[in-house]
Amino acid sequence: MTVLVVNAGSSSLKVAVFDDNLTERLSGRVTEIGSLAARVEAGPLQGARTVPDHAAALALVFEAMEEAGLPVASLTAAAHRVVHGGARLAAPCRLTEAVVAEVEACIPLAPLHNPANLTAIRALARLAPHLPQYASFDTAFHATMPEVEIRYALPPEAEALGLRRYGFHGISYASIVRKVQENALLAFPKRLLAFHLGNGASACAILEGRSVATTMGYSPLDGLTMGTRTGSIDGNAVLRLAEVHGVTGAGRILNRESGLLGLGGASDMRALRKAGTPEARFALDHFCHWAIRHAGGLIAAMGGLDAVVFTGGIGENDAGIRAGILRGLRFAGAEFDESANAAGRPDLHPPGARVAIWIVPCEEERQIAMEAMQLRSGGA
């Protein structure tokens, strides 16, 4: 069984090919699709190319696969990351006309993401019409959250617009659960606090392997301070921004000009540390402070804490951010080994610690491939 995993953005396409041992055989990306600066990095194909659309990008991916000895005919399935599955698409599934229609119906909930996901799905269907396609949804892992966590305190007519908490980064959190189950020497921790920290950042309360609360809500804007997103902000502050700048301008400020960029002048942690300005240092402090503040609520939602996991580009690679957050979680019993953290070792807790602390590499593409293989083996 060989699966092509596709992760499509509005002007980019990331791919990976996995065999039946979940070994990655090829990976690549096409960036700046539709512009004169399009670039391909896929196996033996490297460099600038003319890439007018996602179909052309996929055709280049197929060419790279052919040159790498992985022809399209050898594929068993293709699997897509779809950001928003809404309330009904709450588990990985095969893509049928009805499922694609549901993904399309979720466009108002994820206008920046779902259209790109659909573009790749349809392009692949044209290029390889007989190849079964599957989807994993970033929102699906959080379908287990209780209703008291999901619902905003809104009247029914507002809720009918789909205004509720969905949560995101679910594929990453599902991967964390799988990897901890595979690697933990003892029983799976009952109360696990997971941080997915990258340009987009969130945290999740995982009780007995299931999501019971998370920081992102109706959209990926809510929760932690992020690279360019505000994180949690008062609704009336949003209304004021819309009053002054219009809805489009307010959306741009909240999603693209805020967060670490708005506070410190850069969205990248390394750039902030290099800058060393008071504003940059404050941005780093803000990131850690609000991660700790939200973590407190997530710990309360689980009734305590047994383990902490860090994943994502920042979570896996920034020892300073991990240390800043963990120092703030000492009240919950999270003691960590400073030298292990500085070295980036997988286990950060000292021997005999009550709360386990791990770094778990993000494996979203492998998780998507595994879910597609499970569905395919089950006859879907």
The answer, yes or no, to whether residue 376 has pLDDT greater than 90, is yes
Tens of pLDDT along 233-278? Answer: 999 999 999 999 999 999 999 999 999 999 999 999 999 999 999 9
Tens of pLDDT along 293-345? Answer: 999 999 999 999 999 999 999 999 999 999 999 999 999 999 999 999 999 99
pLDDT band at 44 (very low <50, low <70, confident <90, very high): confident
CA nearest to 358, candidates 328, 316, 296: 316
Q: What's the pLDDT score for residue 184?
A: 63
Tens of pLDDT along 71-101? Answer: 999 999 999 999 999 999 999 999 999 999 9
Q: What's the pLDDT score for residue 160?
A: 92
Question: Quick check: 168 and 150 in contact, CB under 8 A?
Answer: no
pLDDT band at 186 (very low <50, low <70, confident <90, very high): low
Q: What's the pLDDT score for residue 37?
A: 84
Convert 294-315 to b/e letters by CB count within 10 Å (16 or more is b).
Answer: bbeebbebbeebbbbbbbbbbb
Q: What's the pLDDT score for residue 9?
A: 84
Q: What's the pLDDT score for residue 185?
A: 60
Position 210: which residue type? R
CATH architecture for segment(s) 185-364: 2-Layer Sandwich (3.30)
Q: Is 0.85 surpassed by the pTM of this model?
A: yes
Domain 3-137, CATH number (from 3.30.2350.10, 3.30.420.40, 2.40.10.10, 1.10.10.60)? 3.30.420.40
**So where are the chain's domains?**
3-137, 185-364
Residue 26, classed as helix, strand or coil, is strand
Mean pLDDT in the chain? 94
As a dihedral over the C-alpha atoms of residue 170, residue 173, residue 174, residue 176, rounded to 10 degrees, the angle is 160
Helix axes 114-127 and 97-105, enclosed angle (nearest 10): 160
**Which residues are tagged catalytic?**
138
